[in-house]
């Protein structure tokens, strides 16, 4: 699948930044329409056929009022029976033909509209898949879901119906006005005299509708975010354990009322105006009868009874599409607000992409050496503030001094080498940069200076796909899909055989427990795996990485949720897996890395000590202090 390099985005600041200015409309409307047109471009041939069918249908539709005039003139004039048969026959056949063509045109319009909708959804989802990690750390999940579901769903009627409706109504109005002008130009001018005023008022109403639509979609996004946060398993647990159900209900109720008020406002915008238009259309035939009658009474021979009947029939045929055209302008303005939000995401840059000359890692020849060379990295201000807030919460819980400033660099001048077969452990207090260091290896972030290399190749020169295949990660917080145990394991290797899956599960000391589940490997684990214990989830996650069989392992305290027996089994399995492979392990429990080939002690984004366990204990620095505190806390009594 082709990945975009970021389009023409830029300039959006941070990902969760301020919403676009509502006054920023004149310059963006044309651009938005151009972007929308790009999604219709692949279907131009079908669109051309739809246009032809619409024009045929509309043109045939004008004939019947003309036939009505001819019938009446025939009955009040020559009274030719053969001509009457022909005229009435055409009046029967033409509507049948028009209906058949209309059904075909509606089918084609819906097919094209739905395919455009699918392309739009897929483009948005694909673009988001390749957004950098910082986008997801700074944007609420509910907001992202709202853009994909609410915003894309909100433009569906415009994409599937409005385009064809616009052409059909415009063609109907144009052909009808021409026919009316041919019948009598004076009656036509009377009928259309006030339309310029109505068109201007419609434009003004549309601008207000677009602004209200933007505010409504923001509120819907907020509702989605609140729902996602508060009704997830984690959110419900938090709400119940803190007794905050009433507060959650009040928060939801407040936003729901705001959304309701905006929707009422959106529905009522221009109601009086459109009621006035409807009234005007209803009374206009009376003025036509008055003018035509005056002309006939005055002796004007250019107007006949047939002309009056045909004209009023055409006039009634004109008013509905004309009203639709005026109303659709308002609807399109509202839809453009949704398209603005969709294209806002589609124009965001993919900061981390494959270089033009990026190479694929070859599993057969890859050694798996990882080297950091004078690496420095800084989070954007918004992300750094999130990191500091998390660090402050941890520090407060641990009784340490609470940080209040944003560190200019998350990592500063980090250098180390991990050879194949080596275990390199990262230790240090919370917020010291351990996790950030591991994020730079699979390019979840890119370094600001220095380089991270695999087998001597800068990771920025390696394809993201091959990096993902050759790096396995087990984190403290295990994520499982709401699916079966088997599906969660196959995520690492879809073509794995049942025997390979069971072997990986056995190595992770979880096969026996899976076999005891009601449906074995076909058991659904629930939202985020909440049907399983923490240790069971962690062992399934480890089995998933074992099945993937990567050359480089990143373990973020992978055994933290295991009991003593399971921990011993997993340590043995990991020990076998690490043979000939590079392992970078974040260790909070120092007992798990006593035999590490290299221990890096980190503090405030720097490596302050390095060596083996024995060397660092003899050094009597930060590691010795952490070790003494931890082993003292673990000692019974």
Task: Supply the DSSP symbol for 478.
Answer: -
Please name which of 409, 415, 362 lies closest in space to residue 387, comparing C-alpha atoms.
409
Residue 16 lies in a domain: no
d(CA 623, CA 619) in angstroms, rounded, equals 9
Residues 599 and 546 both lie in one domain? yes
Give how far Cα 398 sits from Cα of 430, 439, 628, Å: 10, 25, 16
Residues 325 and 394 both lie in one domain? no
User: Domain boundary residue among 314, 346, 378?
Assistant: 346
Strand, helix or coil at 310? Answer: helix
Residues 250 and 297 both lie in one domain? yes
Mean pLDDT of the chain: 76
User: Domain boundary residue among 313, 346, 379?
Assistant: 346
The predicted-structure confidence for 346-384, as pLDDT tens digits, reads as follows 888 888 888 899 999 888 888 889 999 999 998 875 555
The predicted-structure confidence for 1-39, as pLDDT tens digits, reads as follows 334 333 333 333 334 443 434 444 445 667 777 888 888
Residue 5 lies in a domain: no
d(CA 349, CA 12) in angstroms, rounded, equals 9
Residues 377 and 341 both lie in one domain? no
Residues 313 and 392 both lie in one domain? no
Looking at the structure of the chain, the number of domains it has is 2
Residue 43 has pLDDT above 80, yes or no: yes
The mean pLDDT of 469-498, rounded to a whole number, is 85
Instruction: Tell which wins on pLDDT, 18 or 75.
Output: 75
The predicted-structure confidence for 319-346, as pLDDT tens digits, reads as follows 667 666 766 666 676 677 778 888 888 8
Domain containing residue 64 = 32-346
Q: Half-sphere exposure of residue 548, counting CA atoms within 13 Å on the CB side?
A: 24
Please name which of 26, 324, 357 lies closest in space to residue 168, comparing C-alpha atoms.
324
Range with the lowest mean pLDDT among 59-63, 316-320, 621-625? 316-320
d(CA 483, CA 526) in angstroms, rounded, equals 7
Q: How far from each other are the two terminal CA atoms of the chain, in whole angstroms?
A: 60
Residues 456 and 583 both lie in one domain? yes
Residues 416 and 292 both lie in one domain? no
What is the Cα 127 distance to its own chain's centre?
Answer: 8
Residues 319 and 443 both lie in one domain? no
Residues 383 and 329 both lie in one domain? no
Best mean pLDDT range from 17-21, 169-173, 266-270, 276-280: 169-173
Find all residues with CB under 8 Å of 131, minimum gap 6, and list them: 15, 348, 350
Residue 357 lies in a domain: no
The predicted-structure confidence for 92-115, as pLDDT tens digits, reads as follows 888 888 888 888 888 888 888 888
Range with the lowest mean pLDDT among 22-36, 63-77, 93-107, 276-290? 22-36
pLDDT grade, residue 251 (50/70/90)? confident
Q: Which H helix or E strand runs over 375? A: strand 370-377
Residue 550 lies in a domain: yes
- Cα dihedral sign, 202-203-204-207: positive
Range list of H helices, 518-621: 534-548, 564-577, 613-619
Residues 402 and 290 both lie in one domain? no
Query: CA triplet 466, 468, 473: central angle to 5 degrees?
Result: 145
Contact 554, 581 (CB under 8 A): no
Residue 360 lies in a domain: no
* pTM value surpassing 0.85: no
d(CA 159, CA 156) in angstroms, rounded, equals 5
Residues 316 and 444 both lie in one domain? no
Residues 321 and 439 both lie in one domain? no
User: What CATH number does the domain containing 111 carry?
Assistant: 1.20.1560.10
User: What CATH number does the domain containing 603 carry?
Assistant: 3.40.50.300
Give how far Cα 572 sits from Cα of 153, 214, 426, Å: 51, 57, 20
Share of the chain above pLDDT 70, in %: 74
Residue 385 lies in a domain: yes
- Cα dihedral sign, 205-211-217-219: negative
Residue 7 lies in a domain: no
Range list of H helices, 184-232: 185-192, 195-230
Residue 624 lies in a domain: yes
């Amino acid at each position: 699948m082709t990945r975009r390099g970021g389009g023409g985005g830029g300039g959006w600041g941070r990902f969760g930044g301020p919403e676009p200015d509502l006054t920023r409309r004149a310059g963006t409307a044309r651009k938005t329409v151009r972007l929308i047109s790009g999604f219709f471009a692949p279907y131009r041939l079908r669109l051309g056929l739809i246009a032809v069918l619409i024009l045929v249908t509309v043109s045939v539709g004008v004939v019947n009022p003309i036939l009505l005039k001819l019938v009446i003139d025939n009955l009040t004039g020559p009274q030719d029976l053969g001509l009457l048969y022909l005229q009435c026959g055409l009046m029967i056949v033409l509507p049948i033909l028009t209906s058949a063509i209309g059904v075909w045109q509606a089918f084609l319009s819906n097919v094209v509209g739905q395919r455009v909708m699918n392309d739009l959804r897929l483009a948005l989802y694909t673009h988001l898949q390749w957004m950098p990690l910082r986008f997801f750390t700074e944007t609420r999940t509910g907001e992202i879901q709202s853009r994909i579901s609410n915003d894309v769903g909100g433009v569906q009627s415009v994409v599937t119906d409005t385009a064809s409706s616009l052409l059909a109504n415009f063609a109907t109005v144009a052909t009808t006005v021409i026919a009316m002008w041919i019948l009598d130009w004076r009656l036509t001018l009377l009928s259309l005299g006030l339309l310029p005023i109505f068109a201007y008022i419609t434009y003004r109403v549309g601008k207000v509708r677009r602004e209200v639509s933007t505010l409504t979609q923001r509120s819907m996004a907020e509702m989605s975010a609140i729902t996602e946060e508060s009704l997830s398993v984690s959110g419900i647990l938090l709400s119940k354990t803190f007794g905050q159900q009433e507060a959650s209900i009040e928060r939801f109720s407040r936003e729901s009322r705001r959304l309701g008020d905006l929707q009422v406002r959106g529905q009522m915008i221009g109601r009086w105006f459109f009621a006035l238009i409807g009234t005007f259309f209803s009374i206009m035939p009376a003025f036509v009868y008055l003018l035509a009658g005056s002309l006939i009474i005055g002796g004007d021979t250019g107007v006949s009874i047939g002309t009056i009947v045909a004209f009023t029939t055409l006039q009634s045929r004109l008013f509905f599409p004309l009203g639709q055209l005026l109303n659709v302008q308002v609807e399109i303005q509202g839809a453009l607000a949704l398209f603005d939000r969709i294209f806002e995401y589609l124009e965001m840059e993919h900061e981390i992409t494959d270089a033009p000359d990026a190479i694929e890692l070859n599993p057969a020849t890859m050694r798996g050496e990882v080297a950091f060379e004078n690496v420095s990295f800084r989070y954007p201000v918004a992300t750094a503030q999130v990191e500091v807030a998390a660090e402050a919460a941890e520090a407060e819980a641990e009784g340490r001094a609470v940080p209040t400033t944003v560190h200019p660099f998350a990592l500063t001048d980090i250098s180390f080498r991990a050879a194949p077969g080596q275990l390199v452990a990262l230790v240090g207090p919370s917020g010291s940069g351990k996790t950030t260091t591991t994020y730079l290896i699979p390019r979840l972030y890119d370094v600001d200076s220095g380089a991270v290399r695999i087998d001597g190749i800068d990771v920025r020169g390696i394809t993201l796909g091959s990096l993902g295949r050759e790096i396995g990660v087990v984190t403290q917080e295990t994520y499982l899909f709401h699916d079966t145990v088997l599906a969660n394991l196959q995520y690492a290797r879809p073509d794995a055989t049942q025997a390979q899956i069971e072997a990986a599960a056995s190595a992770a000391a979880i096969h026996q427990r899976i076999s005891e589940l009601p449906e074995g490997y076909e058991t659904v684990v629930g939202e985020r795996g909440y049907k399983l214990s923490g240790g069971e989830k962690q062992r399934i996650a480890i089995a998933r990485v074992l099945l993937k069989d990567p050359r480089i392992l990143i373990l973020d305290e992978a055994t933290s949720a295991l009991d003593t027996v399971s921990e011993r089994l997993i340590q043995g399995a990991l020990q076998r897996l690490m043979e000939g492979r590079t392992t970078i392990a974040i260790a909070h429990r120092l007992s798990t890395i006593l035999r590490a080939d290299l221990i890096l002690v980190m503090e405030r984004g720097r490596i302050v000590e390095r060596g083996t366990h024995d060397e660092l204990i003899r050094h009597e620095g930060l590691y010795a202090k952490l070790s003494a505190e931890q082993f003292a806390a673990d000692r019974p009594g």
